[in-house]
């Protein structure tokens, strides 16, 4: 197995996310990548999220900020240069999320900070979120990336993000400021460079390897960078609809929009922070031209056994609370 390291010198999210996606699809079966990067003044939303619900898009752009959409699920996050991002791209035959998270937790412990895994995808210190993680998978590799909130401007975080009241209520807090904390709050002397050094050291110790550092291949990643620069990818604008559902399930918050004509579903758009891969794509694709009723929706998705319970719960809620 070949283990590579890339440390980005760019702070443009479209370059960083474009390179990440390029490597995700072009690493060989016996190659893995540990990637460290930072974005400047950026809101990054999950693959299936509604940009205008999650973020004050116009205000962000007026203040020369970037709106970016990543290729994984999960929720919206704010990045500035007080935030360090990490990515594991691992062959599917060796992927181990617990082991990967152990790299992060071990790093925090080495820096004198007691971190622990919490919730669906967070790392917390003394009950405060200091890292969020998200995931994607293709035929050969799994991608796991996340944030480390080192010294982020918390005021900007709450300034640009529209954090769902449903989500905050479920966590027992009433504002995003009360839920997140900077690592420097627990270790004031910690720097980005120190954090990078310890992450690399922890990776090499846990995987019993030496990382080979490679430069960013910007030229070959151009197609992916251009995708992330495009407004079509960033905003993923929705169509006019005549039925909708907004609900927080145990597996993620969902906004579902339907165009229904003569009792038949003609278009579907799902926005969600779910971390369950392929769930949103499956619902959107398999419900086209299906009758808009509870049993027909369940039947159309019944061949996806891994989603059975979620589909039933989704359909039950839709026909109790939809707006027509």
- 216 and 277 belong to one structural domain: no
- 266 and 170 belong to one structural domain: no
126 in the Ramachandran plot: left (φ > 0), alpha (ψ -120 to 50) or beta?
A: left
Q: How confident is the model at residue 164 (pLDDT cuts 50, 70, 90)?
A: low
- 167 and 309 belong to one structural domain: no
Residue scoring higher pLDDT (291 or 36): 36
Q: How confident is the model at residue 218 (pLDDT cuts 50, 70, 90)?
A: very high
> Is 155 a member of any domain?
yes
Q: How confident is the model at residue 322 (pLDDT cuts 50, 70, 90)?
A: very low
> Is 64 a member of any domain?
yes
Q: Which two tokens stand for residue 278?
A: 């392929």
Three-class SS state of 174: coil
- 275 and 139 belong to one structural domain: no
Residue scoring higher pLDDT (167 or 83): 83
Q: Can you spell out the DSSP letters for 31-53?
A: EEEEEEE--SSEEEE-TT--HHH
- 227 and 249 belong to one structural domain: no
CB 16 within 8 A of CB 224: no
- 219 and 248 belong to one structural domain: no
- 30 and 156 belong to one structural domain: yes
- 225 and 304 belong to one structural domain: no
Residue scoring higher pLDDT (26 or 273): 26
Q: What is the pLDDT of residue 191?
A: 97
Using the 3D structure, point to which of 207, 232, 257 is the last residue of a domain: 232
Using the 3D structure, point to which of 199, 232, 265 is the last residue of a domain: 232
- 75 and 184 belong to one structural domain: yes
Using the 3D structure, point to which of 232, 265, 280 is the last residue of a domain: 232
Which neighbouring-strand residues pair with 68?
Answer: 44
pTM value? Answer: 0.78
CA distance linking residue 315 with residue 289, whole number of Å = 16
Q: Which structural domain, as residue segments, surrounds residue 195?
A: 2-232
Residue scoring higher pLDDT (237 or 245): 245
Write out the H or E segment, with its range, that includes residue 199: helix 192-207
Mean pLDDT of the chain: 88
Q: Answer whether residue 299 shows pLDDT above 90.
A: no
CATH, residue 177: 3.30.930.10
Write out the H or E segment, with its range, that includes residue 281: helix 279-286
Residue scoring higher pLDDT (242 or 269): 269
> Is 93 a member of any domain?
yes
DSSP structural state of residue 179:
T
CATH, residue 297: 3.30.390.50
Q: What is the pLDDT of residue 308?
A: 81
Mean pLDDT to the nearest integer, 97-112:
96
Over residues 13-26, the pLDDT tens digits come to 999 999 999 999 99
Q: What's the domain count of the chain?
A: 2
> Is 238 a member of any domain?
no
Mean pLDDT to the nearest integer, 218-243:
86
Q: What is the pLDDT of residue 198?
A: 98
- 156 and 265 belong to one structural domain: no
Q: What is the pLDDT of residue 321?
A: 55
Q: What is the pLDDT of residue 324?
A: 36
> Is 237 a member of any domain?
no
> Is 263 a member of any domain?
yes
Mean pLDDT to the nearest integer, 222-246:
84
Residue written as tokens 């590579």? Answer: 4
CA distance linking residue 197 with residue 194, whole number of Å = 5
Over residues 108-133, the pLDDT tens digits come to 999 999 998 887 678 999 999 999 89
Q: What is the pLDDT of residue 163?
A: 62
CA distance linking residue 45 with residue 306, whole number of Å = 25
Q: Answer whether residue 173 shows pLDDT above 80.
A: no
- 130 and 211 belong to one structural domain: yes
> Is 224 a member of any domain?
yes
Mean pLDDT to the nearest integer, 166-175:
43
Torsion sign (Cα): 66, 67, 71, 73: positive
Ranking 40-44, 201-205, 278-282 by mean pLDDT, the lowest is: 278-282
- 210 and 262 belong to one structural domain: no
């Amino acid at each position: 197995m070949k283990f590579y390291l890339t440390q980005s010198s760019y702070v443009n999210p479209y370059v960083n996310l474009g390179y990440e996606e390029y490597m995700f699809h072009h690493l060989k079966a016996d190659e893995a990548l540990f990637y460290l990067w930072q974005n400047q003044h950026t809101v990054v939303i999950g693959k299936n999220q509604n940009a205008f619900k999650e973020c004050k898009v116009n205000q962000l752009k007026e203040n020369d900020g970037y709106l970016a959409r990543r290729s994984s699920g999960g929720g919206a996050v704010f990045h500035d240069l007080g935030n360090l991002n990490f990515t594991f791209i691992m062959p599917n035959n060796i992927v181990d999320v617990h082991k990967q998270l152990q790299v992060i937790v071990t790093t925090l412990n080495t820096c004198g900070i007691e971190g622990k895994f919490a919730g669906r995808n967070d790392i917390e210190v003394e009950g405060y979120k200091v890292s969020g993680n998200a995931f994607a998978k293709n035929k050969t590799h799994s991608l796991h990336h996340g944030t480390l909130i080192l010294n982020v401007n918390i005021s900007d975080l709450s300034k640009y993000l529209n954090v769902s009241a449903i989500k905050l209520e479920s966590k027992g807090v009433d504002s995003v400021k009360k839920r997140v904390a900077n690592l420097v709050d627990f270790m004031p002397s910690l720097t980005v460079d120190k954090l990078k050094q310890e992450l690399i050291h922890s990776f090499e110790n846990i995987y019993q390897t030496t990382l080979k550092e490679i430069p960013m291949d910007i030229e070959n990643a151009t197609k992916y960078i251009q995708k992330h620069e495009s407004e079509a990818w960033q905003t993923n604008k929705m169509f006019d609809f005549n039925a909708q559902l907004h609900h927080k399930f145990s597996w993620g918050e969902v906004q579902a929009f339907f165009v229904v004509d003569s009792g038949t579903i003609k278009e579907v758009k799902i926005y969600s922070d779910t971390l369950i891969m392929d769930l949103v794509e499956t619902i959107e694709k398999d419900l086209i031209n299906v009758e808009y009723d509870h049993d027909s929706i369940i039947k159309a998705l019944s061949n996806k056994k891994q989603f059975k319970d979620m589909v039933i719960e989704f359909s039950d809620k839709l026909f109790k609370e939809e707006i027509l």
